[in-house]
Structure 1
Amino acid sequence: MKGPKRPIHAVATWVRRQPPKVKVFLALVSALAALVLLRLVVHDHDNFFVAAEAVHALGVSVLIYKLTKEKTCAGLSLKSQELTALFLAVRLYCSFVMEFDLHTVLDSATLVTTLWVIYMIRLNLKSSYMEEKDNLKIYHVVIPCSVLSFIIHPTTQHHILNRIFWAFCVYLEAVSVLPQLRVMQNTKIVEPFTAHYVFALGVARFLSCAHWLLQVWDTRGRLLTALGYGLWPPMVLLCEIVQTFILADFCYYYVQSILGGQLVLRLPSGVV
């Protein structure tokens, strides 16, 4: 005779059985509830951006542990790491010439560790790199971001090239995880360290999105005016939301797997 289900497991089972539209609605409600809770608990919402950088750094630390201790890069996307290094390098340049602050230091540290991960995958652990699974072309991501940055960019007093570069790194950051998701889509089975890393990215994206949305909320929309005019302000918010929802599905299955006591994450068809 089966024992009673744990409440969390029962809720997860019920959610899993719902149609896609209901799942989307529940995800939106959960996200809004989380934003309201964060607004009530955390008073200085600038801390969310720092927290997002810290969580990203934690995710990269998981990768470093995987590469040094496990001696394998199986399941990792080199292309995602290269895209991450590219948008960090561009953002670091923009930060130096436009607004040198704490984020400049955080981005510098993250860029160094990301370059080290790329070095390990390309040279030391090349034999375990799943190149055939990492088959999303980089130019399919970089070219649309480049074109969009020429069309829609900030309207500040900075030099036009710096404004285009800033827009480019915002757009590229939003979609830099796509090659990693393609690798997981191709393999269907995600080992623990890779799953922890991608989940950390999802949490970091959510915190960054919360930072922008709560800032807009607190300033009654005046922040959008401070960012400039035209299509750029809503594009910044849209990119933050896109980053979050790109990883939302994976994060749901990650949490479900952890609660179920599974070390290896098995993704159903159609996820990511």
Structure 2
Amino acid sequence: MAEKTRMNLSAGLASSSVALVLVALKIWALGETHALSVAASLADSAMDLMVSLGGLAAIAYAARPADEDHAYGHTSAEDLAALAQSVFIMISASVIGWAAIARLLAENPEPLLHQGKGMAVMAVSILLTAALVTWQSWVARRTNNKVVKADRLHYLGDLLPNVGAILSLWASASFGLTQIDSVVALGAGAMLAVGAVRIFKGAWDALMDRAAPEEVVTEVEAVLSGFPGVHGYHDLKTRMAGSKTFITVHIELDGQKTLDETHAIAAALRRALLNEVPDSDVLIHQDPVGVTPHPDDPSRT
């Protein structure tokens, strides 16, 4: 587990470092070109930096073991960070969209300058992003960390705005089509907004204890069904907190077996669930087959 944490932290550090370099490069490129497509890419990289730093902090904090005040661990820090980041992304998308529309409607839009320098910066951005995604993919395959996976998908999505910025700068330099820059910026702003809504929804659902995704529940049910010694199950509940999945279930066992025997079955089932759903927390309650609920028990939900 310590090795996986180190690998996840290395991916987070790489992500934050690349984002910091890209922000610095694009600030310079924006000053040189005055291109809104570069501004959109800069905002995206600035958001990447915040997301990466938040993800790095979340990975480090979430890796802390449960303590007296946080019996279920610290993984919800990932969701809190994502919630705040999504608000920042939406604000950035709104500012970019407003500026792009204003430039499209302007009678004398501001000309683009030094397009070649801007194209060079965006090309470097693409190369750095591609290298980062390659490293994140390698780490994600070995650790199955959802923060690293999400960050990887986000950087993959960044490649399109970077390519769009290069095309808009090229069109401006070659054909004088400066309006394409605003159109590309609008598209990039829309992509940012869609990403912000997705991040917000995922974080909100987790903080509101929404059940795990349907495919995860299906995987859990597949393990439970027909597991040796388990005659049935009920009260299956799941929820997400950051990158951790919490699973609670009641299983029905032969009441004639000894405590040692039923414990061995439940322990084997727990190992199977942990293997099927990595980074999960599993709690199993054992019931005898055919037990009748006590009238004073709370109704099952």
Same fold (TM over 0.5): no
User: Which has the bigger relative contact order, CA under 8 A and spacing at least 6?
Assistant: 1
Question: TM tier, shorter chain?
Answer: 0.3 to 0.5
Q: Which has the larger radius of gyration?
A: 2
Q: Which of the two has greater helix per residue?
A: 1
